[in-house]
Structure 1
Amino acid sequence: MKKQSLIFMIALAIIVVVSCKPKQQAAPVVSNEPAALLAEIDQSAPVNTLTENESKSGWQLLSNGTDFTGWHGYNMSGIPDCWIVEDGSFTMTTTGGAESQDIITDKKYKSFALFVEFKVDTAANSGIIYHVAEDTMYQFPYETGAEYQVVDHENWPDSLADWHITGANYAMHPPMVRPFKPVGEWNQAFLVVNGNKVTHYLNGEMVVEFEKYSDEWNVLRNSGKWSDFPDYGKYDEGHISLQNHGTKVWYRNVKIKEL
Structure 2
Amino acid sequence: MADPQRTYPLWADNKVPEVTIAFWLIKILSTTVGETAADYLAVNVELGTLLTDVITVALLAIALGVQLRFRKLVPWAYWLTVVLISVVGTQITDALTDGAGVSLYISTTCFTVILAIVFWAWYRSEGTLSIRHIDTLRRELFYWVVILCTFALGTAAGDLATEALGLGFSWGVVVFGALIAATAAAAYLGVNRVLAFWIAYILTRPLGASLGDLLSQSRTYGGVGFGTVYTSVGFLVLIIALVVLVSIRKPSAEDSRTAQI
Q: TM-score, normalised by structure 2?
A: 0.27
| TM-score, L = length of structure 1 | 0.27
Higher helix share: 2
Larger radius of gyration: 1
Structure showing the higher strand proportion among its residues: 1
